[in-house]
Structures are given as structure tokens and as C-alpha cells.
Amino acid sequence: MTKPIFVLNGPNLNRLGLREPDLYGATTLAQVEALCHASAGGRTIEFRQTNSEERLIDWVHEAIDAAAGIIINPAAFTFTSLALFDALKMFPGPIFEFHITNVHRREAVYHHSYVSKVATAVMAGMGADGYGIAVQAMCARKDLLD
């Protein structure tokens, strides 16, 4: 049985399409989820969003046992959560850190990512459409945990 790819989303991403559309665009999280499924070439996608750090960490723990790879947009937890960093360090497969905006062109508070230190790849600045590219790239990897 082929393991799924977990696409995990952190705080405030449930407000996509409404929150700062000049920065994040008009695409909703439901549209992002549909794009991820459409881009997976038949592979199962576990698509989730939470505003809770605890729940996000629990999902990473679940992924350790059940996922082929993780695509994570940790949002604000990128820059604040050592606990998420520690959880991701335990995942033995590929991890893509994903951001809708180019965090390096934004305020300095967005320039230090704990997640980048454990990520296989970092993708930023491609807008919501970048999720589809991330899923396709993850599916193409030879080191997925199947």
C-alpha cells in the first residue's frame, strides 16, 4: 500500500482568500486542497489545517508512522516553534517547507525559520499555485517512504 503525502497547514491559513488578499491572493484553502489532490497523480493526499501548534505537532507524529513525505506550511509557527522543529526532526522522509509569499522579502521577523533547518527543500513566493508544484515535486522524489 502506498503511503500518503501529508500536506499540513498552520495558523490563519483557513482564512486564505479573505486574509490580506493583496499579499496571499484570492485562492481559498478549499481551492488549495483541490489543487493538491489534482496534482498528486493518484497518490493519496492527507490535507489538513489547524490554528493549534499542539495539533500540528500531533499530525507530524502521525506522519512519522504513516506518511511518505510531508509538505508543511507552518505559517507563524515557522519562526517560533522549537517543538515543531523537534517533531519534524523525527520524520525519516522528505519534508518540504512551503510558504505562499517570499518570506525573505518581508519584514525581518520572517527571516529565521526553524523548519528550514530540517527541511529537504524550501519553497516560497509562488503563491497558492505553488502548492500544486510542491505536490508534483514530492511525488517525483525517489526517497518517498512507501
Q: Say whether 100 counts as a known binding-site residue.
A: yes
Q: Say whether 58 counts as a known binding-site residue.
A: no
CA 143/CA 146 separation, integer angstroms = 9
Cβ atoms of 73 and 56 within 8 Å: the answer is no
Residues 6 or more apart from 137 whose CB is under 8 A from it? 96, 121, 123
Report residue 125 as a C-alpha cell.
Answer: 513566493
Catalytic residue list contains 24: yes
Q: Say whether 73 counts as a known binding-site residue.
A: yes
Q: Say whether 86 counts as a known binding-site residue.
A: yes
Which residue in 24, 61, 104, 112 is the catalytic one? 24
CA 52/CA 58 separation, integer angstroms = 10
Which residue in 99, 104, 114, 131 is the catalytic one? 99
CA atoms within 13 Å, Cβ hemisphere of 4: 15
CA 113/CA 98 separation, integer angstroms = 11
Report residue 46 as a C-alpha cell.
Answer: 492527507
For the annotated binding site for substrate, the residues are 73, 86, 100-101
Active site residues: 24, 99
For the annotated binding site, the residues are 73, 86, 100-101
